[in-house]
Amino acid sequence: MATSDDKCPLPQSVLFCCDQNAVRSPMAEGIMKKFYGLDVYVQSAGIRSDLDIDGFAIAVCDEIGVELARHRTRSFEEMEKLGDDLSSFDMVVALTPASRTEAEKLTRFDHLELEFWPVTDPTGAAAGDGRDAKLAAYRIARDEIVAYLQKRWGASPLAAT
């Protein structure tokens, strides 16, 4: 893992994954695109895709200039049907324990880098506590993703644009 003085080079392609592809993995996809530009092919997927993109995820990403409203959720299975095979990515980053297990199973014969970044699940953290509490929980997850990205690849040259 890179230190703040020793960032790793960006891979050519990264897949972020979580359980539903409705909160954490689309946030990671959008933030990485915003921070590091289009030099890296970035996608996201979930074990399932039976939910739409989460409105609170859209809101907290809008706060930092990341647009998620047009994101369409997709599962690993749907992704592969569209031609994005997991083995075609240089790196898979799992953001939940279940997605890590599924990614390990799906890539067990492939030579690619698999990392686990345990990002807090904001959907249950503030359930029923009102809009402000929910937004705070989603900001925590967003900020964890930002911290993982910066730890792995250094400060974003594009974050302020």
Tell me the per-residue pLDDT of 87-127, one tens digit each, with 9 for 90 and over: 889 999 999 999 999 988 888 877 788 999 999 999 976 55
Closest CA to 43 of 80, 6, 7: 80
Evaluate whether residue 160 is within a structural domain: no
Give the confidence band of 1 by pLDDT, cuts at 50, 70, 90: very low
How much is the pLDDT for 158? 63
pTM of the model: 0.89
What is the distance between the alpha carbons of residues 41 and 33, in angstroms, rounded to a whole number?
Answer: 8
CATH classification at residue 107: 3.40.50.2300
Count: domains in the chain = 1
List Cα–Cα distances, 5 to 1, 8, 116, in angstroms. 11, 10, 22
- Residue 61's domain spans which residues? 18-151
